[in-house]
């Protein structure tokens, strides 16, 4: 009788374990490589499945933070590594986490360029790369992230103009591009950003102050500092 009870208990535990959603092993491996790349093991030592319910790194106030959404499997939706002095380039494994909706790497020492593989993160809604040491041109592939609501890459060391592909981000509500080294004219394609509520811009923008600013009906904050744009501020 006792043997039957033990067998029944084992079967129940196996059913519970089978029903528990697990994180894709490719994503788990990618996450562990990212943690090691940025020397975060002392702050984020994964001793269980990263998407375990009520894990210490899951709450909104956690930093670093990993949060997931689970159905039959679990995927990473939220990542935060804010102001922890992480350094080094953006690791290629980051772009394997294709379900990411919110990525906050602000106020660190991340360097190198933003790889073209950023285009793979098409579910992204909130992307913060501000206050780092990123260099090179602002990649046109950012224009592939058409679900973005907030984009921040101010206070970096980019060069060249803003890519016109940013005009594809028609859901964008917040754009922070101040003090990042870009120069040239503000692309006419940004006239498509009709949902924009907040724009911070500075640096060496030249040419005419875009007339399309006057037609952004949702504007709440327009902050232009140290720019070389000419012309009157138009009323809508």
Instruction: Return the pLDDT at 41.
Output: 94
User: Model-level pTM?
Assistant: 0.88
pLDDT digits (tens, 9 = 90+) for 118-140: 999 999 999 999 999 999 999 99
Q: pLDDT tens digits, residue range 47-61?
A: 888 998 889 999 999
Residue 110: C-alpha distances to residues 46, 85, 105 (Å): 23, 8, 8
77: nearest Cα among 36, 124, 118, 30:
124
Question: What band does 236 get if pLDDT is binned at 50, 70 and 90?
Answer: low
CA–CA dist 38, 32 (Å, integer): 10
pLDDT at site 233: 62
**What confidence category does residue 68 fall into, taking pLDDT thresholds of 50, 70 and 90?**
very high
């Amino acid at each position: 009788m006792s043997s039957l009870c033990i067998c029944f208990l084992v079967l129940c535990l196996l059913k519970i374990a089978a029903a528990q959603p697990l994180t894709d092993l490719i994503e788990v491996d990618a996450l562990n490589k990212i943690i090691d790349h940025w020397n975060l093991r002392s702050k984020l030592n994964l001793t269980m499945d990263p998407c375990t319910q009520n894990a210490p790194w899951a709450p909104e106030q956690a930093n670093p933070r990993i949060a997931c959404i689970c159905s039959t499997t679990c995927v990473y939706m939220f990542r935060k590594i804010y102001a922890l002095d992480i350094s080094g380039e953006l690791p290629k494994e980051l772009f394997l986490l294709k379900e990411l909706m919110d990525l906050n790497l602000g106020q660190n020492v991340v360097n190198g360029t933003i790889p073209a593989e950023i285009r793979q993160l098409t579910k992204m809604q909130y992307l913060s790369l501000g206050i780092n040491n990123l260099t090179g041109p602002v990649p046109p592939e950012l224009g592939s992230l058409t679900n973005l609501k907030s984009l921040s890459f101010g206070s970096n060391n980019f060069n060249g103009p803003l890519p016109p592909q940013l005009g594809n981000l028609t859901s964008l509500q917040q754009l922070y591009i101040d003090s990042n080294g870009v120069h040239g004219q503000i692309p006419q394609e940004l006239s498509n950003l009709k949902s924009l509520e907040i724009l911070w811009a500075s640096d060496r923008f030249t040419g005419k102050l875009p007339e399309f600013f006057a037609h952004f009906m949702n504007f709440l904050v327009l902050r232009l500092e140290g720019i070389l744009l000419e012309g009157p501020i138009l009323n809508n």
